[in-house]
Amino acid sequence: MSRFGKKWRLQLALAATLLPTAATAQEPSDELVRALSFKPRQAGVNYEKIPESQFGECKVETKSRQDGSGFLVTGPAGQPLRWFVDTDGDKRLDRWCFFNAGVEVYRESDLDGDRRADEYRWLSTEGIRKGTDDDGDGVIDAWQVISAEEVTAEIVKATASVSEPQFQRLLITPAELEQLGLGDDKREEIERSVRDAREQFADWARGQSVVTRNTRWMHFGADKPGLVPEGTDGSTQDVVVYENVVALLEDNDEPRQLLVGTMVKVEDRWRLIGLPSAVNDGQELSERGRFFSATFTNRNDAAPTVASGMTKALERLVKQLQEVDEDLLARDGDLEQLNAQRADILEKMVVEAPNEQERQQWIQQMADTVNAAAQTGEYEGGVQRLVDFARRLKAEGAADDDVAYVSYRALEAQHRVAMLSAKEDEFDKIQQRHIESLEGFVDDFADSPEAAEAMTQLALDAEFSGDSDRAKDWYGKASQSFGDTVSGEKAAG
């Protein structure tokens, strides 16, 4: 029977016992042990794993939430670990969610009701990939959503294992190429390049020496994307491209680079249109881009920056961050100290970021991970760290949206930590203080995307309190001012 059939048996067992929580801390129930034993079908997912010695401190509960009814597994600090859910009400589990540091990072879904996953999604800090599996064999057949950064990481995996299917699903398809609306000459040029890449990949991967099974993808390197305007060489629409993309790698502490070349954007996914090239130290590649002319030079020894514009200092920080992340995943060491160290590194990366886009990326990652660690009790200093970080950003003249992003996460963490340690007679007072903080946040950051989320939270609180007029007022403000955001759409609905 499939793995998902076993999950259904788990559902029946749980439903029969109607256990609101797991067994005592000394004796974890069989259901809890089996729930924690389920693993993602896709390799390399960074999700939270609990040592068997701590199983007794976890619990499993039946829950009904907005996305359906199912079974929530929580960890020693109350953080969510797994969420197995029936989303369509047919009494069968059809979504399996995995969390890391309290944040959902990966999910598998059965969309056609055959009890086998046919969609795999990476979420939050793990990226944006969404892959489909048409035959239910556990192998992704196509990417529906994938970022340029994730494409380069997938190339490295495919090259290391000489996996033709893994590489070929990164290449632009004939239908996608037609969708771009390129002129005849450019389309035929790319068709030839893609055909050659399909035919030559295996031989190239076996013959190159830059990527080995020990090689780790470290960072995506490229200048900002460019737009090829409608009418160029007979094209019928604008096309967004990256030229001279580089994957920055490490192999046994030795930095390496792989020239990925040109990538094009098709809807929510980035596509390859040719073979990558291995780059050796000091090598200059006169890479005439498919759409723009450019020259890429590897100057690892001659200059403080690499071709992507990432400084040597930032390269070192990326490496340090990955090492700390590995220790956190293994829960190897003092979690408070490791989370503080991670925050230190991310703050330095904000300073070293070569452009505003990357600066914002590191700011958000800093805020999200510290928020999650604080809420799960793994970083007691996390709330104050976020407050101080927001103040520093404001003092340095950072964009209002960046300050708002960090400030809102500080509010979330502060409220969660206070509620976890509160006595029952303190709940109302803490909730009222949180409402006042949210109202102050809306006043201070009225135009930020986070204001929409704050307004929605205020509306929900009013709704639960029976104040329908105040709830309608907040929902109306959120939908009117932020109708194109997720929170605004929720408010409108």
Residue with tokens 């886009």: 357
The whole-number pLDDT of residue 481 equals 62
The whole-number pLDDT of residue 477 equals 83
The whole-number pLDDT of residue 253 equals 78
Within 8 A by CB and 6+ apart from 6, the residues are none
The whole-number pLDDT of residue 482 equals 61
Distances (CA, A) of 103 to 110, 341, 370, 384: 21, 20, 11, 20
Within 8 A by CB and 6+ apart from 12, the residues are none
- Angle in degrees, 0-180, between the axes of helices 335-352 and 312-330, rounded to the nearest 10: 160
Closest CA to 170 of 245, 248, 275: 275
**Low-confidence residues in the chain, pLDDT < 70:** 1-26, 280-289, 293-310, 332, 481-493
Question: What is the spatial distance between Cα 404 and Cα 447, in angstroms, rounded to a whole number?
Answer: 10
The model's pTM? 0.61
Distances (CA, A) of 137 to 40, 117, 140, 458: 13, 9, 8, 45
The whole-number pLDDT of residue 298 equals 46
Both tokens of residue 301? 């020894």
Question: What is the spatial distance between Cα 475 and Cα 85, in angstroms, rounded to a whole number?
Answer: 28
Question: What is the spatial distance between Cα 21 and Cα 35, in angstroms, rounded to a whole number?
Answer: 13
